[in-house]
Structure 1
């Protein structure tokens, strides 16, 4: 019960403290939670968390209808498992927001007791749960938002199942003796209108999120038997690090496209205080696995997702992926790091340090943890960048110096993005700045003011395929680096081909390209600072580039 204590008031000549209860409005609360940002695949993954926490060995998902158009009145998503099932008391608790059920923090995937309700209502208004323990009766629970909205109360139905509901159990149960079946109905918040599109996306998302569970719980033999299926078809592991140890669990056609697997560069653990402000809580370990993806051709890179949106650090909590392709403040996303991938394994005891939110989908590590990761990952990131830059330097065909000089000359008049700095306090209590070892990020101190006016920008060229972006933007220290895609039809037509003729218009085109890309790039770096925003920006650039390619070819 939430209480609000009011100031003492005079009643009958004596001071009395008044207390009021402040329960939330059920209809408004549920309406707000439905807009929590869940995608349909993320919601299904959170429901599977409950099955795994309940010791399921097999999970079967059904999307009905299996093909055609999905509508609110014809769609049902079913998740069946062979876990331990729930007693009446446990089922009643699970239907609450913020349920208080027993959890093992060392292995369980749930955290706040919000998953069953918030995940289900993000897809449909009606949740039906059929559950049975080994020694118990078959129970049914119904959580219907239409009823909650009508009566504006936190209510649900829980009772023994009738014959019709027992028949439904017999049809979908993984094990007739125990387990749980979840049915999502009145699906009015589907992100997909075509069944095949939803099924394909579910397979990919669940295969990546639960890849370690698929490798641990699935059976290999003449045919692959995954511990999770969708409409009877196995869900294969999606392995963003491309490590050979998982080759038997990934989709066979994907495995055939990989000519060579990744090189595992580092696999190390870091002891981290659970709470720096409370040393008595002790420490726990982060595990970090770092790989360099194989060097692939442009076609294979596109097919296998070796690109800017997929580069970075994949955060795993209790063996389950909670956040893909993150920068975590360790580096800036750029084209030259497409082959950089890492896994960060976080125990639940470090949830506070990693900054996990209640949806388990967004994380914000504290500054001290960012510093540790930057120090350990910096040399590897720097090595990949240097190798990439050596390769693309060889392709330079245009003299960019004049444009670099023009921009540097007017740098004081330009609005430029802020260089991220990390303040440290020296022994003499004087604040300075540092350069993390092995990285390209320069942190300036007071004595470096003169250097700030040099090397403001650099233009480069690199092959990024005809369907790639027209240019890529990056920031190293205070230097803005623009890399033009020499394969793009616009560059080929107006720069390379123009150079083969008289080149009379080439100078104007080159000046426009250099100045426009620089100005737009600096605006992007100043405006789009979050990972999620940066991913949208990359997608916007790609769409712009694709439309330009279509118009020019």
Structure 2
């Protein structure tokens, strides 16, 4: 059979359509690809410029993005390099492991994901001597463009010279036109650049902080009026670097404290490479600055809620903020920071995607335990060695994954400790909460029927001083909260109070301590039941009014289910006991149930 035209494996007019859906999360990520190219070309200054035009939309004139440009003062490209840069899967840094580039997909891939045409001017001896080439999706689909046009001498257009502040001897200008409104995440230039700053400020935070890179953001509306013109500020998800984007009172001082840095070595393909993990946790001042309000509902708390997860850095550039390592329903996750940094030589191990938006193998281990990968009778070390022998990247990442999980648990305990005293005893500084009030009513009624020895003993100031010392030193309450609790005991004549603390081990659900006439019921924050039951609403970090009905329902269901499991654990305890001991436990259960019934009656009335 003969063909008029030799059949292509992938016809270009079909391939270009598929490539447009290349998986960029949003427009800001696509812009970040162009910034990668500029940085790799040695640029110290980069500008992102958005220009709008007036359009009739639903019989109203509206201003919408019409052109978007990225310009830099990098080393520029010659004709061969420029042509290669516009090819898919080509480029001068293909498989280069020395920097943030490598894959040869960034410029064309990112551009056509947002626009139907990309024009590139690049110069190495002044903007008047620039070379120009382009890709036009419409021309490709119509069969008019099958090859990247040979770069032609073409001075940088005056329009862009007038907008830029960095027209130097060498550089590159990338311009997107024929922008597709259905592909752009944001329709206006100001919104696009505002969201781009949030992203690139985080992605390139190390370069911005070191002064190695400056990114100017400039936007004009359809009337040609500048609506935004400033330099992008860094965003540090570990909140250790200062940034004017972080709300007061943490604009000029770090919001988190540094906790730890660990280094691991991964031997791969004959090389030994360092992987560094860093950890941080919110300062206690985040609670103090909120006063009687919830820190999670403060402006700085809401800022932290947008930077939750483990930051994954490749050659100092963030790939992703991986939320898979977080407890999704827990708003306290915003109060710790973690990052893992690795060199490009470990791309295959971490599973770096060609659009540099993910590290798939690393992310997979967030929800995977080594036992799930084990074959019969294998130990963890056996699993690791077998996976490496099979060429499975998870074999190199298991130890790192376990280390990160251990450290995240440590951070979560630190965050829990900060919340001590904010959930129990008092809902206001001048009164007890409803459950403590109802408990004490039931307690005092019970004392009339069954007096407790020593319950009428009044604590002297020495005893109260000892109690304060115990609250601050052992139970990790602040001095202010400890004093508030003691004042309420005195003023309201409390006989029993609810507290919480970090017990040495995870097995004790709660403890009962006698302090003269006071009984302290202290719950163990390290017990697995603590979060499921008592963490339904965490008033230190959130306002219940911010939760949807479904979120509240989900948490209540989780709390109810955890309560059922606790009672089931008691049932198992009875079944494991000897016959005589089981009878004694049954009597304890009956008497405990009677007291609970008496205590719950006033609580139910008060809470209706």
Matches within 5 A, 1:470-549: 470-471=551-552, 502=605, 506=608
Deviation at 1:161, TM superposition (A): 3.5
Contact persistence 1:142–1:156 (CA under 8 A): yes
Hey, what does 1:35 align to over in structure 2? 21
Hey, what does 2:189 align to over in structure 1? 195
The one of 33, 36, 44 aligned to 1:49: 36
Q: Counterparts of 1:337 and 1:475 in 2: how far apart (Å)?
A: 21
Hey, what does 1:233 align to over in structure 2? 230
Hey, what does 1:17 align to over in structure 2? none
Deviation at 1:292, TM superposition (A): 0.9
Higher mean C-alpha displacement, 130-139 vs 88-97: 130-139
| Structure 2 residue matching 1:157: 3-state secondary structure | coil
The alignment status of 1:209 with 2:198, answered yes or no, reads no
Contact persistence 1:27–1:153 (CA under 8 A): no
Hey, what does 2:346 align to over in structure 1? 350
Deviation at 1:394, TM superposition (A): 6.9
The one of 415, 423, 436 aligned to 1:395: 423
Aligned pair in 2 of structure 1 residues 213, 457: CA closer, same or farther (>3 Å)?
Answer: closer
Contact persistence 2:82–2:151 (CA under 8 A): no
Deviation at 1:372, TM superposition (A): 1.8
Larger Cα-atom Rg:
2
Q: Counterparts of 1:354 and 1:481 in 2: how far apart (Å)?
A: 40
Q: Counterparts of 1:387 and 1:27 in 2: how far apart (Å)?
A: 56
Hey, what does 1:61 align to over in structure 2? 48
Q: Counterparts of 1:242 and 1:56 in 2: how far apart (Å)?
A: 27
Contact persistence 2:52–2:188 (CA under 8 A): no
- TM-score of the pair, normalised by structure 2: 0.58
Deviation at 1:360, TM superposition (A): 1.2
| Structure 1 residue matching 2:279: 3-state secondary structure | strand
| Structure 1 residue matching 2:151: 3-state secondary structure | strand
Deviation at 1:206, TM superposition (A): 1.2
Hey, what does 2:546 align to over in structure 1? 468
The alignment status of 1:110 with 2:188, answered yes or no, reads no
Contact persistence 1:314–1:343 (CA under 8 A): yes
Aligned pair in 2 of structure 1 residues 255, 120: CA closer, same or farther (>3 Å)?
Answer: farther
Q: Counterparts of 1:258 and 1:135 in 2: how far apart (Å)?
A: 40
Unaligned runs of 5+ in 1: 1-19, 219-225, 276-280, 400-437, 441-453, 483-497, 507-553
Q: Counterparts of 2:135 and 2:116 in 1: how far apart (Å)?
A: 8
The one of 129, 136, 145 aligned to 1:144: 136
| Structure 2 residue matching 1:286: 3-state secondary structure | strand
Higher mean C-alpha displacement, 116-125 vs 61-70: 61-70
Q: Counterparts of 1:499 and 1:388 in 2: how far apart (Å)?
A: 34
Aligned pair in 2 of structure 1 residues 309, 138: CA closer, same or farther (>3 Å)?
Answer: closer
The alignment status of 1:75 with 2:75, answered yes or no, reads no
Deviation at 1:91, TM superposition (A): 0.6
Q: Counterparts of 1:169 and 1:313 in 2: how far apart (Å)?
A: 39
- TM-score of the pair, normalised by structure 1: 0.63
Contact persistence 1:93–1:99 (CA under 8 A): yes
The one of 151, 161, 165 aligned to 1:159: 151
Q: Deviations over 1:487-520 (max 9, x none)?
A: xxxxxxxxxxx9889469x5xxxxxxxxxxxxxx
| Structure 1 residue matching 2:210: 3-state secondary structure | helix
Hey, what does 2:533 align to over in structure 1? 459
Q: Deviations over 1:218-263 (max 9, x none)?
A: 6xxxxxxx711011411011111111xx32x544856745765322
Hey, what does 1:266 align to over in structure 2? 260
Count, aligned residues: 400
Q: Counterparts of 2:256 and 2:336 in 1: how far apart (Å)?
A: 10
Deviation at 1:200, TM superposition (A): 1.0
The alignment status of 1:284 with 2:312, answered yes or no, reads no
Deviation at 1:95, TM superposition (A): 1.1
Q: Counterparts of 1:341 and 1:117 in 2: how far apart (Å)?
A: 34
Contact persistence 1:291–1:342 (CA under 8 A): yes
The alignment status of 1:314 with 2:311, answered yes or no, reads yes
Deviation at 1:346, TM superposition (A): 1.2
Deviation at 1:25, TM superposition (A): 1.7
Aligned pair in 2 of structure 1 residues 269, 388: CA closer, same or farther (>3 Å)?
Answer: closer
| Structure 2 residue matching 1:125: 3-state secondary structure | strand
Aligned pair in 2 of structure 1 residues 274, 499: CA closer, same or farther (>3 Å)?
Answer: farther
The root-mean-square deviation of aligned C-alpha atoms, in Å, is 3.9
Aligned pair in 2 of structure 1 residues 302, 317: CA closer, same or farther (>3 Å)?
Answer: farther
